[in-house]
Amino acid sequence: MSLEYVKFTPGFAKFMPKEYRDMVDHGPFGRKTTVAQTGQFKEILEEHPMCAGCAMTLFIRLAFIALPNPEDTVMVGTAGCGRLAISQAAIQFVYGNYGDTNAVASGLTRGLKLRFGDKPKDVVVMAGDGGLADIGFGNTLHSWFRKEKFTTVMLDNEIYGNTGGQESGMTNKGQVLKMAPLGKKFEKMDMLGMAKVAGCAYVASVIPNNPKRVESVIKKAVLVAREVGPTYIQAYTSCNIEYGIPTEQVMQDAKDVEKERYAFSEYITDDAKEYLATQHGYKQYLPKPAPASVS
């Protein structure tokens, strides 16, 4: 697992589709990519089958660009809309059975540590709210309680999008959906709160509209998970199809939702701050010098 793995076996390049060859020749590997360079390299196949205007696709793209070491990262995904794009990007992908992503990622993280020792290998779970908070809830929480060192990213579209619009634990109370015609009876689950209680070292909530912020939280989460402990990012990634959001209003919807109930939040433990400050140059987390005493 390194830059070597993306190269074609000699003689095979000419049989690969052009889009795929472009990802290998002009992908993010071995570079320190930033969202400011979006469009200058190829991190994902253009022909992924997600719906036009889907905010989840934008978030996934930004998150992939923000990965600190793409050639040393494994994405773990599962059934759900997100994997349609995640599995067609220039990052290694493992498909975990629905609900099992965090168990798969736990084993993978431990295996990579045994195989590669201190050479950093990053594992990132990216899955829907149904996959992480409902059917995979036990595995998600236990990976956090056990302090498994990988990042969990929830693509929170507040619905089971891929199966046609059932409510999930992350749907808001009262929300009427195609397959919840009477409206949801229960509150949205507080997964951010649970992540903190369960011991995550870094927890953040974001929307896709601010690329620099997405980049910042992804980088911090992945770096902290390398050494300090589990990390969790919850991203509002609306389902414009099931929520009936006109394509041209998808970004405005995210802005409105951010204002009303999905504010940017960031929680970071002291250990994580110290690690980022001392190992990765995050000067803002250096301890403040004690004020000079007045005699």
Could you say which of 151, 242, 253, 276 contacts ligand SF4 (CB under 6 A)? 242
- For ligand TPP, give the closer residue by CB, 81 or 224: 81
Could you say which of 63, 67, 79, 221 contacts ligand TPP (CB under 6 A)? 79
CB 28 within 8 A of CB 38: no
Residue 86 identity: I
**Residue 240, binding choice from ligand TPP, ligand SF4, none, Cβ under 5 to 8 Å by partner class:** ligand SF4
Could you say which of 27, 28, 82, 229 contacts ligand TPP (CB under 6 A)? 82
Could you say which of 58, 81, 124, 198 contacts ligand SF4 (CB under 6 A)? 81
Tell me: does residue 141 bind ligand SF4 (CB under 6 A): no
Residues between 149 and 178 that touch ligand SF4 (CB under 6 A): 157, 161-162
Distance of alpha carbon 236 from alpha carbon 170, whole angstroms: 10
**Residue 54, binding choice from ligand SF4, ligand TPP, none, Cβ under 5 to 8 Å by partner class:** ligand SF4
Distance of alpha carbon 83 from alpha carbon 87, whole angstroms: 5
Closest approach, Cβ 188 to ligand TPP, in A, equals 13
CB 76 within 8 A of CB 126: yes
Tell me: does residue 208 bind ligand TPP (CB under 6 A): no
Residues between 111 and 130 that touch ligand TPP (CB under 6 A): 128-130
Tell me: does residue 241 bind ligand SF4 (CB under 6 A): yes
Residue (of 107, 157, 164, 115) closest to 132 by Cα position: 157
Tell me: does residue 27 bind ligand TPP (CB under 6 A): no
Closest approach, Cβ 98 to ligand TPP, in A, equals 3
Could you say which of 23, 35, 44, 54 contacts ligand SF4 (CB under 6 A)? 54
Residue (of 75, 82, 74, 166) closest to 120 by Cα position: 74
Residues that bind ligand TPP (CB under 6 A): 79-82, 97-99, 128-131, 135, 155, 157, 159-163, 168
Residues that bind ligand SF4 (CB under 6 A): 50-51, 54, 56, 81, 157, 161-162, 239-242
